[in-house]
Each structure stands twice: as structure tokens, then as C-alpha cells.
Amino acid sequence: MIYEDKKSECRKAEKMKKQMKIYNKDKKVSKQILTTLAILLFGAALGTFSKYLDYRQAQLPYLLHIMDERLDFHNFLGSFAPWILIAVCISVKSASPVRAAVNVFAFFTGMVSCYYLYTNFIAGFFPRNYAMIWFALTMVSPFMAFFCIIGNSSCRRNLELK
């Protein structure tokens, strides 16, 4: 009789443990989705800000104009280097190679789409050849992020263990 009670308690504990795993997994997935959405919005904000600095350089608010004059933001954000650096940081901070690919793709999608939407609808022009370079970089970015995090030695060890 006592043995049966212990057996049923073990079953209940195992069932509860499985339910907790499912709950934690759901919680993890929702956190990943929120993180990806935050990265998408971050990319969109940076893309819009970058084009705003490019297009409205002469009409910037006083404080922003002084900061741009001293730090040369519009030229700095106009090159590939800062965007690649941000993408590498996102990739390295991601939990897995797949998450790195998704997050970096979300960042570039937000950044490039807002930059060129601003260019087309507010600035009134669309540099097609230059845009194609950025679209291609956006399409290749998940693969670069995936391999960037695979190159990280601690991640490589984790993949080998699985």
C-alpha cells in the first residue's frame, strides 16, 4: 500500500515536471519573439535616424546639429562598418546560431526597409543600385550571423555535445 502511494506520488511529480518544462518552453519562445521584435524595432529606428541625418543635415535641431558636427554621425552611419559591428554584436549575444541568424536578419530587415522607405516617400528618390547592395547584404546576413556564432568556441563545444 505504501509502495503504491509512493509510485503515484512519483507519477504526479513527473507529470508536474513535464508541465513545467512545457510552461518554461512556452515562456522561452515568447521571450525569443519579444527579443526579435525589439531587435527589428531597433533596426527600424536606426535606419530611420540614419536617413533623417542624411536628408535633413542642414535643418537638424540645435543639439543634434552640434552633436553631428562634432561626431560626424551622418557620415559614420553612411558606411558599412557600424552596421556590420552591430550585427556581429547581436550575433555573438544570441543564444544559438539559429537565433543569431533570425535576430540579425530582423535587424537588417528593419534597418534597410525603414531607410529606403524614408528615402522613397520622404526624400523623394530611390537609389536602386545602392539599395540592391543593401538588399543583398540583408539576404546574406543570416548566414553570416550563423557562421559568426559557430566560430565562437564555447558555442562550438555546445553544438558538439548535442
Contact between 100 and 149 under an 8 Å Cβ cutoff? The reply is yes
Q: In a structure prediction context, what are the per-residue pLDDT tens digits for the chain, which is 162 residues long?
A: 555 555 666 566 566 555 545 444 556 778 889 999 999 999 999 999 888 877 766 566 655 656 656 666 656 666 788 889 999 999 988 888 899 999 999 999 999 999 999 999 988 889 999 899 999 999 999 999 988 877 664 555 555 555
In three-state secondary structure terms, 135 is helix
Burial class for 97, CB neighbours closer than 10 Å (0-12, 13-18, 19+): buried
Nearest to 54 by CA among 104, 127, 106: 127
Q: Is the four-CA dihedral 72, 73, 79, 82 of positive or negative sign? A: positive
Give residue limits of the domains in the chain. Answer: 39-161
Q: Is the four-CA dihedral 92, 97, 98, 104 of positive or negative sign? A: positive
